[in-house]
Amino acid sequence: MAPVTPRRRRRLAAYSEAVTPPSSPDRWGLPLGLSAFLLWGAMPLFFPLLEPAGAVEIIAHRVVWSLVFCLVLLAATRTFRSFVAALRAPRTLGALAVASVLILVNWTTYVYAVLSGHVLDAALGYFINPLLTVLLGVVVLRERLRVAQWVALGFGAAAVVVISAGVGGLPWIALTLAGAFGLYSLVKNRVGRDVGALPGLAVETAVATPFALGYLAWLGATGVGTFTTEGAGHALLLAACGVITGLPLLLFSAAARRLPLSVVGMLQYLTPVLQFLLGLLVFGEHMPPTRWAGFALVWVALVVLTVDGTHHARAARLAARARSAVGDAA
């Protein structure tokens, strides 16, 4: 049997940490993850409370109050230096500025969808998002797909065709949501190793805040803003956009550190499922047969994608375990 050298001990510890999540925080990981995705899924219930504010005004307040919320948390957690460091790094700041534009497109489209009675289209967008992420891997990162992934993409494309035929045009809300968030995730993946979730969101909102404040000032000057004209309750709800935006992100960030990636991947479907149920049962949106068929095709694609991803991840773990065993024997 090979001696347990310090180098080998460190290698075994790193492998164990990679394949087995820490046992002590696991009991908190699932509740934190569930809370994050359920809050995201329940957001269609919040935005109608902000009427008569329009989608763009809501987003402007969301940007400003999210920055305030982030700055308070950065000060409370003594991580303000990370925020300043990101602002001072030109490449990081540039990437996060791009991310800011993309997330603003996503937020604005989503709020418009909710306020205009298209919650089901928003749900469809987040169902499509994992498929679009795979497609971006091929187009942008030049990744090679497995057969099952191509099959899933085929079902997803068929779903878009079926729904487009049924509604007489492309489901642009769903495609815009999926596209903006997919590109946003790609950009964040590039800077995620250097910038945490909270400092990253703070930078993204800081970049957009001057434009948001300018727009809110214009609304106030022209007398069409709602922050000071609809009562204290309305103003407080608009200010609450900061907490509504930041809290799920912080819960997700905490859960992602405690849960295996496979569990996080499964939990992400809670958000569009809840949005779908709200659109169908609470807001009473119409579901013609073609839309049911399109959603069914998307769900089949996600099942194929999830099963394939699970099998691939399991095979990778077994291969890593086998390599470790060979290394130990040597």
Predicted pLDDT at 64: 96
- Give dist(CA 306, CA 185) in Å, integer: 19
pLDDT of residue 133: 81
Instruction: For residue 45, give the 3-state DSSP assignment.
Output: helix
Buried (b) or exposed (e) across 156-168, using 16+ Cβ within 10 A?
Answer: bebbbebbbebee
Q: What pLDDT, on a 0 to 100 scale, did the predictor assign at position 20?
A: 42
Beta-carbon-side half-sphere exposure of residue 242 (alpha carbons within 13 Å): 19
Q: How far apart are CA 202 and CA 223, in angstroms?
A: 30
The region, left, alpha or beta by phi > 0 then psi within -120 to 50, assigned to residue 231 is left
For residues 177 and 110, the answer to whether their CB atoms sit within 8 Å is yes
| Of 139, 5, 113, 126, residue with least CA distance to 55 | 113
The tens-digit pLDDT sequence of the chain (330 residues) is: 444 454 444 444 444 444 444 444 467 888 888 999 999 999 999 999 999 999 999 999 999 999 999 999 999 888 899 899 999 999 999 999 999 999 999 999 999 999 999 999 999 999 998 888 888 878 887 778 888 888 988 998 898 889 888 777 889 999 999 999 889 888 887 776 678 888 888 999 999 999 999 999 999 999 899 998 999 999 999 999 999 988 988 888 778 777 776 677 778 889 999 999 999 999 999 888 998 999 999 999 999 888 887 887 777 777 777 777 666 665
| Residue 144 DSSP SS3 | coil
Region at 195 (left for phi over 0; alpha for psi -120 to 50; beta for the rest): beta
Q: Which residue has the tokens 């569930």?
A: 34
Rounded to 5 degrees, what are φ and ψ at 117?
80, 35
